[in-house]
Amino acid sequence: MDFSIRLRFLRQKYKLTQGDLAAVIGIKSSAIANYEAKRNEPCFDKLIALSNYFKVSCDYMLGVSDNTLRIGYGDFVKETAEFIKLYNMLTPAGKEDVLSYVNYLLYKQEQNMTV
């Protein structure tokens, strides 16, 4: 799916007219119409504004990925660094316990999905 299709899909999913979306993003409704008709593409700041409004990644909007998830890279790095710091403070037995527990959680999650 390309940008124009994704944009129309998201706009309709949110039950917005082209004018409604344009007002939120701060552009003319004709710009949204042109995006959806593949006559124009948004500049970076408008693409970011659209992805922020719909709470999806720019990759999703552009059709590069089917994953809508937006990852805050800074938060991800901070959380991962904190986890690694705490993990490294554990004894070897504690590290084994963590791995066992993570495997248990994954198993439990898988069971909930198949039930």
Predicted local distance difference test score (pLDDT) of residue 68: 73
Query: In this structure, are residues 3 and 61 in contact, taking their beta carbons and an 8 Å threshold?
Result: yes
Per-residue confidence (pLDDT) for residue 72, from 0 to 100? 61
- Is the overall model pTM greater than 0.85, yes or no? no
Check residue 27 and give its pLDDT: 95
- pLDDT value of residue 115: 47
CB 43 within 8 A of CB 57: no
Interatomic CA distance for residues 96 and 13, integer angstroms: 46
Quick: pLDDT tens for 38-77: 999 999 999 999 998 998 989 899 988 887 766 665 666 6
The predicted-structure confidence for 74-97, as pLDDT tens digits, reads as follows 666 677 778 888 888 999 999 999
